[in-house]
A and B are shown apart, each in its own frame.
Chain A
């Protein structure tokens, strides 16, 4: 019973399925008091996302708002403690096309209370988390993959019954949380997760990113590179260098090295086995030491003295000159299936081909009533920008539509100054009104009058919010009439019909660009035009001579210049060839890859599964699969391949401790590899002297202040796409009241004089 007295059961919000469903409700501030540590920790990441080295200070009372990057928040009775972070070790092995990362972190509960901890961390998009191992005090827990709800229930039960438990959940495709229940006072937590990700390739550069910071919000701008040069500052504790520009936001005091034991910095080790002779290898944002055991291998470590980790670690590498591979083919045998991963870079075109082919562009602009307000302004600005990008030898036309439609020119005309001027004034005069009849406009745009010969690239740029109901009709039109035209959808406004746009672009073999505000116009349109102007590899198809293959991506995209085509497949047998066919510009191109000669790769099955899951998510959004069917597919893949997804979580419960109480855990019992240089005995053995006297620090005046702050500003989880509630009041009442008042006035004006007359 005494155990129960000691354990603070946290996370009221998770106390049942009902609570889960009411997550949305719980986000409303008045109800937030009931929210669990997980939610709070998660909020912390979204509210402010930089890793900050002062977070390493022992026992810093801080509000979850102030947690940066991956942080372990311990919920205590009167606030949040950021756990002492003793060290982080990131160990990445790149083998050919894949990278396997093992991230190990040690935290200590310095408080006197039993706590539940929530660890929030970023992972690369497309990363597949498959392993969770955790050592809490003297207990080892290894995660098992379970359906999300089920995992949550298991975790909650274990938590209530006083068992130690750990839970890894995906919050967003690139944000994960680990929750650990029942950490005793003074206990140390060791968290190790492993994930798999594909190496990114663009042009001749390969790259790997270790996110230490979440999200695009704080993506490093290129300018920060100059800051890296200061990493010779000799240790992060030095007060002279302050890599964090907004340090004032951080509650933690600056550490005095004399009072504190050195804290382990983040260690990053990358074993790079590129599979080809390496040329330049460089770390974009951090100083590194590099060893080169042989021509195609590098071992990269962070330079001595911690480098500020307020930016992601990025490593890029190139092949030795002339050795850039244009094709990569890898295989892996798992269970009774073979998995294949192929990178194919389409041939670079000869100089003569570099000159872009002249284009025939039909711009279609929606000026229906639903585009009223800012939408029409964005659409007009986008179109004016696009007109400016046309070359003199291009041809173009403009079509506007609401429930009527008009063509600016009867047919496409050369993009000379006179025609462009007419087009600009035509567009400038457009006003939003009327209904939306999209199909005739699409038909007109796709109608290929044959004015230009085949040397022209025919493109349709369609600007709309997509507020129509007869979507299928539009799709059918595109599918039937697309011919040589490519359809590029530009979605206007804050909430365009994404389903319509995505599907229409897919069918029209173009792209979907979303412009959500006027200031995005130029940036987004520039991106679109880079695609419009450069020849792409089109009409891609893949055939397998012998093997039955389950290929992903399901729909082969056009490939733009410098980008590789990346294919993953599950094969019945590793035999025969895979042939890729397509057109580079207007020249047919094909390449045959003999499957049997593929090189051994690692973790390909997981990458394949991750991409199939992404395919299913896409199918769900574009309505090709019902949500239930898509979920079923995702669940099956995730359970089979042991992946954490939106629907599955890793859960570990220490149900029956195998060791008698008090017996310390021995190194041999650990089912995980400790990072090099970590001394197990020191980590889990006798408690080393506390790094700082916790009690003193907790008595700090700022302590209470922070708690107050916590009460006053309950963190609110920012939704991925926050829902803005529409304006829902009419002025009917106002008008009725004002009207009645005016009538009364009129009545008085009529009646009063008559009375006066009558009196007279």
Chain B
């Protein structure tokens, strides 16, 4: 009897943890659906549209890598809250399409899991809230410490950096980040 109770409670704990893990993925998935909707409305109306009324953030862009059929809606800011729902546009970096390095960050196990498959030469399309789309070509990737990214957001030229935690299949989080560097393709639009 005791054994059954113990087994049941262990099972319950297991379900709870799995539930939590699944919830993180589910949140990431469901949020993207709501975000898609808010973003489309945003592009159509030109206004900021919050995906749900109590949201602390709002969609600012869509990142697409056609070759990998990957797409994600980017949120303003890169606080933990925002990143749970989608990639974040890192504060103090320019918007895509502006001079400097636009930096977007997302979780390695959800929205940016496709980064490991991105190869130099790939095309990354970023659509902004104003509806304009900019294309970037991937130059290379690098692994850096989070506090030594070497990214100067005010650098010359038009560039993009997508970043996520590294290594991809680690279970715990560490100080290393994987950064994909891309340069805007001439003749924007």
What residues of chain A have their CB less than 8 Å away from a CB belonging to chain B? Answer: 17-18, 20-25, 27-31, 148-149, 368-370, 372, 403, 434-436, 467, 469-470, 495, 497-498, 627, 631, 716-717, 719-747, 749-750, 753
Report A229 CB to chain B, min CB distance, Å: 42
Chain A residue at minimum C-beta to C-beta distance from B101:
A24
Q: In the complex, what's the smallest C-beta–C-beta distance from A169 to chain B, in angstroms? A: 10
* Closest B residue, CB atoms, query A751: B7
The CA-CA distance from A403 to B55 in the complex, in Å, is 10
8 Å CB interface, B1-39 against A = 3-4, 6-8, 10-11, 13-22, 24-25
Chain B residues with CB under 8 Å of A27's CB are: 150-152
Contact pick for B149, options A403, A434, A725, A747, CB 8 Å = A725
> Would you call A726 and B105 a contact (CB within 8 A)?
yes
Q: Kindly report which residue of chain B lies nearest to residue A627, judged by CB atoms.
A: B98
Contacts of B173 in A (CB 8 A): 727, 729, 731
- Beyond A30-B142, A369-B81, A723-B153, is A730–B24 a contact (Cβ under 8 Å)? yes
Whether a CB of chain A sits under 8 angstroms from the CB of B127 is no
Are A726 and B90 in contact, CB atoms less than 8 angstroms apart? yes
B149 adjacent to A467 (CB under 8 Å): no
Closest 7 CB pairs of A and B: A21-B157, A742-B14, A739-B17, A739-B18, A746-B11, A495-B91, A735-B21
User: B171 contacts A734, CB within 8 Å?
Assistant: yes
CA distance A565 to B50 in the complex (A): 43
B157 partner residues in chain A, CB cutoff 8 A: 17, 20-23
Task: Give the Cβ gap from A437 to chain B, nearest Cβ, in Å.
Answer: 9
* Bound-state Cα–Cα, A631 to B98, Å: 11
Q: Are B142 and A28 in contact (CB under 8 A)?
A: yes
19 additional A-B pairs beyond A27-B151, A723-B103, A739-B19, beta carbons within 8 Å, are A21-B159, A22-B159, A24-B181, A25-B142, A435-B56, A469-B50, A469-B58, A719-B151, A719-B152, A719-B153, A723-B153, A724-B149, A725-B179, A727-B83, A728-B83, A728-B106, A729-B107, A739-B16, A746-B10
**In the bound complex, do residue B3 and residue A728 qualify as a contact, i.e. CB atoms below 8 Å apart?**
no
Given B17, B99, B106, which contacts A736 in the complex, CB threshold below 8 Å?
B17
Q: B128 interface residue, CB < 8 Å from A?
A: no
- A734-B107 Cα distance, complex, nearest whole Å: 14
B93 at interface, CB cutoff 8 A: yes
B residues near A726, Cβ cutoff 8 Å: 78-80, 83, 88, 90, 105, 146
A743, B172: Cα distance in complex, Å? 21
Query: Which residue of chain B lies nearest to A169 when distances are taken between CB atoms in the complex?
Result: B156
A733 neighbours in B (Cβ, 8 Å): 21, 109, 171
Given known contacts A726-B83, A741-B14, A746-B7, is B90 in contact with A369 (CB within 8 Å)? Answer: no
B34-66 CB contact bits vs A (8 Å, 1 = yes)? 000000000000001010011111100000000
Please determine whether A24 and B161 come into contact, CB atoms closer than 8 angstroms.
Answer: yes
State the B residues within 8 Å of A (CB): 3-4, 6-8, 10-11, 13-22, 24-25, 48, 50, 53-58, 76-81, 83-84, 88, 90-94, 98-99, 101, 103, 105-110, 112, 139-140, 142, 144, 146-159, 161, 163-165, 170-174, 177, 179, 181, 183-184
Given contacts A22-B183, A727-B165, A728-B112, contact A370 B92 (CB under 8 A): no
Residue from A21, A149, A370, A742 in contact with B17 in the complex, judged by beta carbons closer than 8 Å: A742
Q: Across the interface, do B159 and A722 meet the contact criterion of CB distance under 8 Å?
A: no
Determine the residue in chain A with the shortest Cβ distance to B183. A21
* Inter-subunit contact B181/A22 (CB<8 Å): yes
| A717 in contact with B152 (CB, 8 Å) | yes
Closest B residue by C-beta to A470:
B48
Bound complex: CA A234 to CA B80 (Å): 60
Q: Which of A23, A720, A726, A737 has the most C-beta atoms of chain B within 10 angstroms of its own C-beta?
A: A726
A436 to chain B: closest residue by CB: B56
Q: Distance (Å) between the CB of B119 and the closest chain A CB? A: 15
Instruction: State the CA gap A733–B110 with chains docked (Å).
Output: 10
Is B54 within 8 A of A735, CB to CB?
A: no
Partner of A24, one of B21, B159, B174: B159
B18 and A735 contact, CB distance less than 8 A: yes
Cβ of A745 and Cβ of B142 under 8 Å apart? Answer: no
Q: A21-B157, A467-B79, A742-B10 are in contact. Are A721 and B22 (CB under 8 A)?
A: no
Residue contact A467 to B57, C-beta cutoff 8 Å: yes
A743 and B14 contacting across the interface, CB-CB below 8 Å: yes
Asked if B56 and A368 make an inter-chain contact with CB atoms under 8 angstroms apart, the answer reads: yes
Q: Does A729 lie within 8 Å of B139, measured CB to CB?
A: no
Residue numbers in B under 8 Å from A735 (CB-CB) = 17-18, 20-21, 24
Q: Are B159 and A736 touching (Cβ within 8 A)?
A: no
List of B residues within 8 angstroms of A495 by Cβ? 77, 91-92
A723 touches B151 (CB 8 A): yes
* Shortest distance between the CB of B21 and any CB in chain A (Å): 4
With contact pairs A28-B142, A716-B148 given, residues A745 and B14 touching in the complex (Cβ less than 8 Å): yes
B177 contacts which chain A residues (CB < 8 A)? 725, 728
Q: With A368-B56, A725-B105 in contact, is A22–B165 under 8 Å at CB?
A: no
How close is A199's CB to chain B, nearest CB, in angstroms? Answer: 29
Chain B residues contacting A717 (CB-CB under 8 Å) are 150, 152
Which chain B residue has the least Cβ–Cβ distance from A744?
B14
Contact present for A734 and B24 (CB under 8 Å): no
